[in-house]
């Protein structure tokens, strides 16, 4: 891998995160967590379109948004234009030959089966709590899901981005008190967790868990129409000792 690209892992469109999380690593699980209306899906679209630009094969399993609505968001982010202009844009389908979007796959086993057949580099699952598993309680279902995707990533070398709600008690909580909804296994089985939350009405971004280095918080500016996120370090002066 190093001979092919002069680095061990993959870059993302967020260098400030790559520097802290050791880039995007094969066979690892990245969770994007947040309460409703924190735009975690929008963040995943920004990641997805960038991976497509890099020539990666991407599967996106949406259990909430229909595929055409989702594709419009990805096209908006890819071309950096508002969604209202997407259908006036001359689009080259070849640019998206490595992107497949599914909005009718609801269970974990089907996600695994399709992914084994397609052999992608990266898959997105939006969102964890809507995935169907053969368990009765919410805790059992989320535990099975969390352990299932972790093992699947290890077996296949596929990078998995899993979107997750946070518990109702964690609404507007920062990373010191927020918990992923359903099971502690969602936290334990993730290698990196990104959290979007609101503080006094302002959107914040936190590296809630990071196996590879330190944790960090950011203020967030969002260009909602183009799915663009700008991350501003809350305390940039504190990082001087680490440079």
Residue 96's CATH number: 3.40.50.300
Element containing residue 119 per DSSP (H, E): none
Residue 3 lies in a domain: no
The answer to whether the beta carbons of residues 135 and 144 sit under 8 Å apart is yes
Instruction: Collect contacts of 82-91 with beta carbons under 8 A, ≥24 apart.
Output: 82/225, 82/226, 83/225, 84/225
Residues 125-161: tens digit of each pLDDT: 998 999 987 767 888 999 999 999 999 999 999 999 9
Write the CB contacts of 191 (distance below 8 Å, at least 6 apart in sequence). Answer: 25, 28, 29, 30, 209, 211, 212
d(CA 107, CA 105): 6
C-alpha dihedral over 220, 125, 51, 55, to 10 degrees?
-170
Residue 12 lies in a domain: no
- Considering its fold, how many domains does the chain have in total? 1
Q: What is the largest CA-CA distance in the chain?
A: 50
Residues 109-130: tens digit of each pLDDT: 999 999 999 999 999 999 899 9
Looking at the whole model, is its pTM more than 0.95?
A: no
d(CA 152, CA 135): 18
Residue 19 lies in a domain: no
d(CA 49, CA 57): 11
Report the Cα 170 to chain-centroid distance in Å. Answer: 19
> What's the mean pLDDT in 84-103?
92
The boundaries of the domain holding residue 199 are 26-242
Residue 134 lies in a domain: yes
What would the DSSP string read from start to end of 198-224?
EETTEEEEEEEEESSS---EEEEEEEG
The 3-state DSSP class for residue 165 equals: coil
d(CA 86, CA 80): 10
> What's the mean pLDDT in 211-217?
86
What would the DSSP string read from start to end of 166-208?
BPGGGTT--TTT--BSS-THHHHT-SEEEEEEEETTEEEEEEE
Per-residue pLDDT at 182: 86
Sign of CA dihedral 53, 57, 62, 68: positive
Residue 6 lies in a domain: no
Residue 104 lies in a domain: yes
pLDDT of 240 higher than 50: no
Residue 143 lies in a domain: yes
Residue 48 lies in a domain: yes
């Amino acid at each position: 891998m190093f001979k092919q690209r002069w680095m061990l892992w993959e870059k993302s469109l967020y260098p400030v995160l790559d520097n802290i999380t050791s880039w995007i690593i094969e066979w690892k699980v990245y969770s994007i967590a947040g309460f409703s209306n924190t735009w975690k899906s929008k963040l995943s679209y920004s990641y997805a379109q960038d991976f497509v630009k890099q020539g990666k094969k991407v599967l996106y399993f949406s259990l909430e948004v229909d595929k055409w609505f989702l594709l419009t968001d990805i096209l908006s982010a890819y071309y950096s234009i508002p969604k209202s202009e997407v259908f006036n844009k001359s689009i080259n389908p070849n640019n998206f030959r490595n992107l497949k979007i599914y909005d009718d796959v609801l269970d974990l086993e089907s996600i695994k089966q399709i992914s084994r057949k397609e052999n992608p580099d990266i898959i997105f699952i939006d969102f964890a709590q809507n995935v169907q598993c053969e368990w009765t309680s919410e805790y059992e279902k989320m535990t099975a899901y969390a352990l299932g995707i972790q093992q699947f990533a290890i077996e296949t070398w596929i990078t998995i981005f899993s979107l997750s709600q946070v518990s109702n008690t964690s609404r507007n909580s920062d990373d010191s008190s927020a918990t992923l909804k359903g099971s502690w296994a969602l936290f334990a089985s993730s290698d990196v967790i990104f959290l979007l939350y609101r503080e006094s009405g302002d959107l914040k971004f936190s590296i809630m868990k990071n196996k590879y280095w330190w944790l960090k918080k950011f203020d967030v500016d969002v260009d909602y129409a183009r799915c663009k996120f700008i991350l501003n370090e809350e305390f940039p002066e504190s990082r001087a000792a680490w440079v």
